[in-house]
Structure 1
């Protein structure tokens, strides 16, 4: 499990850096799987699996009276070619050891250790080292030695190339990224947009960091202009942000990126018309819930009907791919007229509100609850819905396999035994579990919260997949954003902000105190702690390995800033090591990461959304494809 693997890696890595030459030690990990689905999923896909339906830029049919114009900010990731192999099953046990690995270590695997450096023998579960006789004038480079059941950090002396050929036992030696290369990788998929529409949002930042290959996370951002600013009643925007945490493949999360906002917007449009342009009642939450369930029904049930009617394996591979994989979904909907933010959560991604208090600090208010088998309320719900089934929740997982208790796709937990058997016989789906009795066990129905946003106070919301919340607490995340805001303000006062931290931004966010927990400008309130009672506890964080000195502010993009501090912050060696690990090894230590940060405020109403180039290494082109109105 990643929790144990990361804790051991954190300890052993620091031992290597701070105690070189000391006697190494070994840490054994318990037999646990870190995969969200304990079963292996077959992914028979084609590049045409998720082609867009004939819709306009916002994904809503042209006949809809909803929009006069729209900004489509969904992330258009090109679909990869068909995958023929099933998802790998990560090893359940990992043994890590830490010691100085000399230049001869890699050569010792191949029996070709150089004469000028003493051999370093590497055995399963532990390492030994001897005194090096290498020329001290030669450059020293950090490396990772990776095998199926152990990981070493160390150094190589010399300027020659480092072999990356896999040996017979699967051991690999990889040169670690230096701090500059690590930063480049962190910022590769970052984006930032300045929202100059005067509708209560001034900016949003986002970043992705893959661990799976390809990444199983996805995201979307869309702004729909319901009423233009030139109208008698003034402008009105519907703004959507979504993060989708895929598992057992990427196809379900990609489907959500393409269609979830469209399904929800259609339901909201109908409610909007029936309520005389009022979106303040409970009918809004019902519309969002209906949009979620209709899309999941299309993914899980309607696809089966089409496949059985066509009786074609190629069509089955295309239509059933999003059903066989799965994805959590976290969608925020902000109505600029009512200033109400609805957060709909299906799964264990999380949204947290940051709000400044009179003291200048920030509070962290959770806007969602992690929905897993470890959540007492979710476990009780499942047991009530499936009485006399003692294994409906086992070890914090649905039927002992799936960690999220709510998700899109994951059809093997939703199809009846008859449908599963028919698909398996005629096409290719999974074998039916012996404990499958009364499906569906998993639902896509979201839990929705409604919050009144105060743009004039500089509220902000952090939305992220569980890869971030595994590493940092709510308070740490909100405090880190607050620390970043204060740093931006200081740079603005010194004239170093490049004009992006303008007077509107400065007036909204100002400066704040810095004497909260962990050296961060954040308050811990009892009501926030109570609201977060059902959430998972992070298994590593900056406080555990660096205290106040572990935090750092180096990035113009605040989402990238959060990811950097989650991976190690000021501990550059640890950040580089975690970013160097290739897939699938990296999944033992970190998940795919997708983070969005939305800043509310009273911005200018120029009716545009523009790319913030200073914080957008991942946006190509002169204007930014997704920033046009």
Structure 2
């Protein structure tokens, strides 16, 4: 019975090679089924590796690496920008961030003529406000866009300094060499905003002292208002602006009582780290990776294998762990198509940025070539019918 049901699902979601196209801004990338990867590349401060595996029918993870000029003017500063955007409820918000966050960053860097925490905060704020404007315009025709949002993890390497900004539960982990032992330790650089973390629940309760249901344990998972795990995001306007939490939004998103102040926040947590010669690399990844690998396990994999293809190796290891948890073989997991695959693992995005101490120490005014790479996935061409609906 179960095998018959799975065969039906696979038939519904099975892609035909002539129906699906892949687009990427970088010719050095490759596609292997639902896996997109760029094994190696050169950024302003060293080498990098990227990989994305799609699980959802439409890829909700978006990502980018921008290297070179970080300003609207070619006078600089110069460095590397990394972004991982883990969408939920649909791909619209993560795609919007991919198109706008870095452009806002360049604009504010140009205005202040330097990179700073303030520049990053303003870029996040402008991106949030821009998406809110988009939701306002589309609400009459597409009200469900108010329930679409995205985590937003960004890293900026500029003038020997690493800035890490985060909304949600994606994660940036530094690999730092310990000279005395030769071991490379994992150091988490990003703060996370997930209701499963007690300090996040306490913060929500302190911000909403009159709301006893601000966090609810539902099916053994802590959720904000019983709806969503993360407390910070871009988008999710239905939990930020009361005027969007009403009909014709789907009933499951509508709160029983109106709220007077935003429930979710778009104010990022930002850390500033002065890079040292013993800082080897940084792993930027959506929570799809961290569901299956600990910080130290991921760092050990990067340290103990070749740089080329290391992001793809991390993704593969996570998928192997996902298969093992379901008591199935990795080779069988790979055969399951997008959409159905989401029952086994999430979209996973990994960007590993290696740090060349000689390049990192260069002044931010030293020019370098511009590079722009975006993570890819399987995309439907225009006017293609969506896969058939799952049976009740």
Fold-level similarity (TM above 0.5): yes
Change (3 A) 1:188 1:585: closer
CA distance in 2, matches of 1:391, 1:205: 43
Q: Equivalent residue for 1:492?
A: none
Q: Is the 8 A contact 2:64 2:372 kept in 1?
A: no
Gap change, CA 1:599 and 1:186, over 3 Å in 2:
farther
CA distance in 2, matches of 1:374, 1:293: 25
Question: Residues 581 and 238 of structure 1: is their aligned pair in 2 closer, same or farther, counting only changes over 3 Å?
Answer: same
1:353–1:459: 8 Å Cα contact kept in structure 2?
Answer: yes
* Alpha-carbon offset, residue 375 of structure 1: 1.5
Tell me the distance in 1 between the aligned counterparts of 2:4 and 2:288.
Answer: 22
The equivalent position to 2:171 in structure 1, one of 341, 350, 355, is: 350
Partner of 2:192: 370
Report the Cα offset of residue 146 of structure 1.
5.9
**Partner Cα distance (1:321, 1:174) in 2:** 23
Q: Deviations over 1:327-379 (max 9, x none)?
A: 100000111x2x11010000000000001111221010001122111112211
Q: How far off is 1:251 after superposition?
A: 0.6
Residue 559 (structure 1) shift = 0.4
Matched, 1:471 2:312: no
Q: 1:218 aligns with which of 62, 68, 84?
A: 62
**Which SS does the other structure have where 2:176 is aligned?**
strand
- Which of residues 400, 404, 409 is equivalent to 2:235? 409
Aligned to 1:334: 157
For residues 197 and 111 of structure 2, the distance between their equivalents in structure 1, rounded to whole angstroms, comes to 34
RMSD of equivalent CA atoms: 3.5
How far off its partner does 1:288 sit?
1.3
The structure with the greater share of residues assigned to strand is: 2
Q: Distance in 1 between matches of 2:54 and 2:262?
A: 31
1:435 Cα shift? 4.0
Match of 2:309 in 1: 557
Q: Is the 8 A contact 1:209 1:592 kept in 2?
A: yes
Larger CA Rg, structure 1 vs 2? 1
Aligned-pair CA distance for 1:583: 3.5
Q: Which residue does the alignment assign to 1:263?
A: 104
Who is 1:448 aligned against?
270
Distance in 1 (CA, whole Å) between partners of 2:70 and 2:128 is 26
Q: Corresponding residue for 2:329?
A: 574
**TM-score (norm: length of structure 2):** 0.77
Query: How far is the alpha carbon of 1:265 from its aligned partner?
Result: 2.7
Q: Is the 8 A contact 1:373 1:398 kept in 2?
A: yes
Contact 1:420–1:430 (Cα < 8 Å) also in 2: no
Q: Which runs of 5+ in 2 are unaligned?
A: 15-29, 378-392
Q: Aligned equivalents of 1:594 and 1:333: distance in 2?
A: 18
Q: Displacement of 1:381 after TM fit? A: 1.5
Q: Which residues in structure 2 correspond to 1:38-49 (within 5 Å)?
A: none
Equivalents in 2 of 1:461, 1:294: separation in Å? 26
Q: Is the 8 A contact 1:568 1:575 kept in 2?
A: yes
- Answering whether residue 50 of structure 2 is matched by residue 298 of structure 1, we say no
Indicate the residue corresponding to 1:597 in structure 2.
352
Residue 173 of structure 1, CA deviation: 12
Give the Å deviation of 1:394: 0.6
Q: Distance in 1 between matches of 2:250 and 2:354?
A: 44
Cα distance change, pair 270–321 in 1 and its aligned pair in 2 (3 A): farther
Name the CA shift for 1:567/1:267 in 2 (closer, same or farther; >3 Å): same
Distance 2:175 2:316 in 1: 19
Deviation (angstroms), 1:203:
1.0
| Cα distance in 1 between the residues matched to 2:309 and 2:59 | 21
TM-score where L is the length of structure 1: 0.49
How big is the shift at 1:287? 2.5
Q: How does 1:22-41 map to 2 (within 5 A)?
A: none
* Alignment check: 8 A CA contact 2:215 2:223 kept: yes
Structure 1 distance, partners of 2:338, 2:303, is 33
Distance across 2 between alignment mates of 1:204 and 1:419: 41
Once residues 411 and 610 of structure 1 are traced to their aligned partners in structure 2, the CA distance between those partners, rounded to angstroms, is: 33
Native 8 Å contact 1:248 1:325 kept in 2:
yes
Check the 8 A contact 2:35/2:54 in 1, yes or no: no
Residues 35-74 of structure 1 mapped to structure 2, 5 A cutoff: none
CA distance in 2, matches of 1:383, 1:590: 31
Is the counterpart of residue 429 in structure 1 residue 287 in structure 2?
no
Displacement after TM superposition at 1:306 (Å): 4.5
Change in CA separation of 1:353 and 1:565 when aligned onto 2, cut-off 3 Å: same
Alpha-carbon distance in structure 2 between the residues aligned to 1:597 and 1:440: 34
